[in-house]
Structure 1
Amino acid sequence: MSNNKKNSISSGFYKEPVPHITPDSPFASMMERFRFAAEILELNEGVFKYLSSPEKVIMVSIPVTMDNGDIEVFEGYRVIHNSILGPSKGGIRYSDDVTIDEVKALAAWMTWKCAVVNVPFGGAKGGVRVNPKELSQNELERLTRRYTSNMLDVFGPDRDIPAPDMNTNEQVMAWIMDTYSMNQKKTETAVVTGKPIILGGSKGRKEATGRGVVTCTLAALSKLRISPSKTSVVVQGFGNVGSVSAQLMYEQGAKIIAISDISGGYYNKDGINIPAATQYSLTNGFSLEGFDGAEKISNRELLELECDVLIPAAKEDQINKDNAPNIKAKIISEGANGPVTANADKILEEKGIMIVPDILANAGGVTVSYFEWVQDRHGYFWTEERVNRRLNRLMRESFDNLFMVSEKYSITLRQAAYVYAIDRVATTLKLRGIYA
């Protein structure tokens, strides 16, 4: 690195705080990793500023007539972080604790995630501040349709493509697709992904994120020369991503010694029967409460179990500077977004733990979302076997790309992911230029 570049870094533009961002926020964690990659790549100051700022931040009020006739007003967000690689892509979450700061971080992660797996999309994210469990189905539909109506100038199959996220599902995507289509006077299935198959959804989409996690986990095990059949696995979170990851690792012959959900952790040193646990959860209101195939432990104890693979597939910031010294896994495959805080990365690195970062490990969802978008645009749909085969190949190629970058620069896989993704976006920006 040149002396001039070193001086420019130390003088501040890589360390300049982003306005209005709290120091411990998800966006701040993302920016810390972004700055590291920017230094390695010797990014131009202008490019750094461009890539660290969202293109658009949209906030809307969503008035909804409730079933009792009262009017409630909810707050909705959509952040377009970057669209250099193509239309922006990202989920919509419904949560009463969603913040614009969180949405900004998730939108940026989507930019890097798409770049890591070489999908021609940019990054976006959306959210509505609401507890969907407090709404009736009719109220939820009215909320979704009004939010979509407010975003008609933002959404579009060639502009910005939403998808399911926390507390949203196929039905919500169907309402978005229909509302957008009604206003366009034609059916536009490609405006969203994660739709019901009958409305243009893709086979294999529901399992895609968990399948991608497992593909990357197997690739990491291969690098460490550990056989899947001799692997002990802990999975935090038993929702869609966690349960699919557990099931697929179970089918690989791995011993799943612990799983968890909101009711707590469940540990069996001899291995848990995952099909039985899945069936129990389905018949028990999607809860493991009362599951007798393992002993009850806390989620904190679960994270600190000795194992070969730890798959955190629950929420952000589960592994931090306080519990990172107690983590005993050989590999962490991040099924959730941001489950490891930036201040825990160095601790885990010093312990020799390989982290398969979220922007690679859980990119299976956006990859098959891309497949769905392609199928919608062509009007021709693939078999599930074809979807899975292409997903596995793309995820393995992406893992190998990052592993080569990590070896080239002697950095971790997470650092390599940011270097690879940011280099791809920055190179594209340089070739396209800035429109004046």
Structure 2
Amino acid sequence: MQHFNAYEMAVQQFELAADKLDLSEDMRQILRAPKRELTVHFPVRLDDGSIKTITGYRVQHNVNRGPAKGGIRYSPDVTLDEVKALAMWMTWKCAVVGIPYGGAKGGVICDPKHMTRGELERLTRRFTTEISIIIGPHSDIPAPDVNTNSQVMAWMMDTYSMHSGFSVPAVVTGKPLSIGGSEGRNEATANGVLFVTRRAAHRAGMPLQGAHVSIQGFGNVGAIASRLFHNEGCKIVAVSDTTGGIYNEVGLDPAAVQRHKMAHGTVATYPAARRMGSAEVLEVPCDILVPAATEGVITEENAERVQARIIAEAANGPTTPEADTILFKKGCIVIPDILANAGGVTVSYFEWVQDLQSFFWHVEEITLRLEGIMNRAFDAVTGMAERSHCDLRLGANMLAISRVAEATLVRGIYP
């Protein structure tokens, strides 16, 4: 297995787009490196009374188009390079859909699956305090990510508000509805994946009705996406989680699979399907593949065996640059992560706007606005790709980077 470094991959993708745009070396230096990297080490008291020192990160990649925006993940595998890569991708993601944010990301090295609720709350509140010097409703707005959720965001919002002396709901997004969260936020990423996949299928002359769909990753995004695609008339033929995958060529019932996972903690033992490894789900016969798990799963080693006509990247960075080349030559349409999964940050933007104005929208309006933004972004990306004779990832990166570069030039260099 080749060494995978998310930040090296992000920079490699950036350089490919910068070459195509003929970006100056000065501009490359500005856009290549993060603006700010904060590393914190802080003690947390565990339930048994012992103290554990935890390491966390908050990286702001670029804020030339607006406040920094990006999730916070809790995982034993978090690294600074991973957080830097995700922050860079967030910059391009916000630019490609045209929302006024820059990119940021956060991570805490811990294993939340082996922590109690009390330990998670104390960790979250202390981490929030440590990064409170750079986050804020007009500077940097965190959101949920891997192993974090609306409850974690509630603790973050409360902690920041206690320091401020008054409630600041706009400091985070992905909150519960009762404290300023937005309707439609939970389904936003999966909805965005569906909207751009529908657009891509239409352009390719492929009806969604009856299309076979394989989804790697059955967490929040993957599970909701399976239900949405099923409702569109697609056949969900394969899904997986961290314990393994399942396949049934006549189609799975996503609701039944979800109930099984809730009851047994895994999809792998679902009875009405053939069991397989998580990686095998990427290679089953299907029309649409949705990688919704982690980075670097479609590589030079397995790209030739991927059979899907359309790959919609619900996860961040699931396809390596080497795999991109192979898939493009095969005629596979890869809807890149910075476009495909931008529904989440778009509805986060809606939540932030609603918090700032203390006026909330109905879910129907949110979904309609989201579909309009995703469709316009898809059309802009495909237009750039066609003019530049390249794949959609390079087209998306070129569109996003050109927008951030323009903002940088217009603002100028201070002082």
Normalising by the smaller structure, the TM-score range is over 0.9
Identify unmatched segments of 5+ residues in structure 1: 1-21
Tell me which residue corresponds to 1:309.
Answer: 288
Structure 2 distance, partners of 1:344, 1:389, is: 34
| Residue 278 (structure 2) aligned to one of 282, 299, 303 | 299
Listed one character per residue, the Cα deviations across residues 72-92 of structure 1 (whole Å, up to 9, x for unaligned) are 100010000000010000001
Read off the aligned partner of 2:347 and give its amino acid letter: V
Q: Does 2:227 align with 1:247?
A: yes
> Is the CA contact 2:243–2:278 (under 8 Å) kept in the aligned structure 1?
no
Listed one character per residue, the Cα deviations across residues 254-291 of structure 1 (whole Å, up to 9, x for unaligned) are 11111111221111111111222222223334x21421
Please state how far the C-alpha of 1:38 moved relative to its aligned partner: 0.6
Structure 1 distance, partners of 2:5, 2:189, is: 24
> Is the CA contact 1:273–1:293 (under 8 Å) kept in the aligned structure 2?
no
Structure 1 distance, partners of 2:347, 2:84, is: 23
> Is the CA contact 1:277–1:293 (under 8 Å) kept in the aligned structure 2?
no
Q: Does 2:389 align with 1:410?
A: yes
Q: Does 2:335 align with 1:352?
A: no
Please state how far the C-alpha of 1:153 moved relative to its aligned partner: 1.3
Tell me which residue corresponds to 1:420.
Answer: 399
SS in 2 for 1:270: strand
| Residue 388 (structure 1) aligned to one of 362, 367, 380 | 367
> Is the CA contact 2:246–2:268 (under 8 Å) kept in the aligned structure 1?
no
Structure 1 distance, partners of 2:283, 2:49, is: 50
| Residue 345 (structure 2) aligned to one of 366, 377, 391 | 366
> Is the CA contact 1:97–1:129 (under 8 Å) kept in the aligned structure 2?
yes
Tell me which residue corresponds to 1:158.
Answer: 138
Structure 2 distance, partners of 1:333, 1:165, is: 19
Tell me which residue corresponds to 2:70.
Answer: 90
Tell me which residue corresponds to 2:45.
Answer: 65
Please state how far the C-alpha of 1:152 moved relative to its aligned partner: 1.5
Structure 1 distance, partners of 2:64, 2:374, is: 22
Read off the aligned partner of 2:374 and give its amino acid letter: M
Read off the aligned partner of 2:267 and give its amino acid letter: L
Please state how far the C-alpha of 1:325 moved relative to its aligned partner: 1.1
| Residue 179 (structure 2) aligned to one of 184, 199, 207 | 199
Tell me which residue corresponds to 2:409.
Answer: 430
Read off the aligned partner of 1:403 and give its amino acid letter: T
Listed one character per residue, the Cα deviations across residues 365-405 of structure 1 (whole Å, up to 9, x for unaligned) are 00000000000001011111111111111111110110110
Please state how far the C-alpha of 1:355 moved relative to its aligned partner: 0.1
> Is the CA contact 2:298–2:320 (under 8 Å) kept in the aligned structure 1?
yes
Read off the aligned partner of 1:341 and give its amino acid letter: T
**What is the RMSD computed on CA atoms of the aligned residues?**
1.2
Of the structure 1 ranges 24-33 and 108-117, higher mean CA displacement relative to structure 2 is found in 24-33
Structure 1 distance, partners of 2:12, 2:132, is: 34
Tell me which residue corresponds to 1:17.
Answer: none
Please state how far the C-alpha of 1:23 moved relative to its aligned partner: 7.6
SS in 2 for 1:389: helix
> Is the CA contact 2:4–2:296 (under 8 Å) kept in the aligned structure 1?
no
Listed one character per residue, the Cα deviations across residues 214-268 of structure 1 (whole Å, up to 9, x for unaligned) are 1111111001011111311111111111111111111111111111112211111
Tell me which residue corresponds to 1:79.
Answer: 59
Structure 2 distance, partners of 1:26, 1:318, is: 12
Aligned length: 414
Read off the aligned partner of 1:81 and give its amino acid letter: H
Structure 1 distance, partners of 2:205, 2:272, is: 30
SS in 2 for 1:33: helix
Structure 2 distance, partners of 1:368, 1:211, is: 10
Read off the aligned partner of 1:366 and give its amino acid letter: V
- TM-score normalised according to structure 1 size: 0.93
SS in 1 for 2:106: strand
- TM-score normalised according to structure 2 size: 0.98
Tell me which residue corresponds to 2:151.
Answer: 171
Read off the aligned partner of 1:357 and give its amino acid letter: P
Structure 2 distance, partners of 1:117, 1:59, is: 29
Tell me which residue corresponds to 1:272.
Answer: 252
SS in 2 for 1:233: strand
Please state how far the C-alpha of 1:300 moved relative to its aligned partner: 2.7
Tell me which residue corresponds to 2:237.
Answer: 257
Structure 2 distance, partners of 1:129, 1:278, is: 28
Structure 1 distance, partners of 2:81, 2:106, is: 11
Read off the aligned partner of 2:22 and give its amino acid letter: E
Read off the aligned partner of 1:88 and give its amino acid letter: A
Read off the aligned partner of 2:208 and give its amino acid letter: P
Structure 2 distance, partners of 1:380, 1:279, is: 36
Read off the aligned partner of 1:320 and give its amino acid letter: T
Structure 2 distance, partners of 1:365, 1:234, is: 21
Of the structure 1 ranges 50-59 and 38-47, higher mean CA displacement relative to structure 2 is found in 38-47
Structure 1 distance, partners of 2:290, 2:60, is: 29
Structure 2 distance, partners of 1:267, 1:97, is: 28
Read off the aligned partner of 1:159 and give its amino acid letter: S
Q: Does 2:40 align with 1:40?
A: no
> Is the CA contact 2:193–2:312 (under 8 Å) kept in the aligned structure 1?
yes
Tell me which residue corresponds to 2:98.
Answer: 118
SS in 1 for 2:20: helix
> Is the CA contact 1:216–1:361 (under 8 Å) kept in the aligned structure 2?
yes
Tell me which residue corresponds to 1:49.
Answer: 29
Listed one character per residue, the Cα deviations across residues 390-430 of structure 1 (whole Å, up to 9, x for unaligned) are 11111111101101101111110000000000000000100
Please state how far the C-alpha of 1:64 moved relative to its aligned partner: 1.0
| Residue 8 (structure 2) aligned to one of 28, 39, 50 | 28
Structure 2 distance, partners of 1:263, 1:185, is: 45
Read off the aligned partner of 1:400 and give its amino acid letter: D
SS in 2 for 1:204: coil
Listed one character per residue, the Cα deviations across residues 96-118 of structure 1 (whole Å, up to 9, x for unaligned) are 11000000000000000000110
Structure 2 distance, partners of 1:157, 1:176, is: 12
> Is the CA contact 1:255–1:270 (under 8 Å) kept in the aligned structure 2?
yes
Structure 2 distance, partners of 1:232, 1:193, is: 34
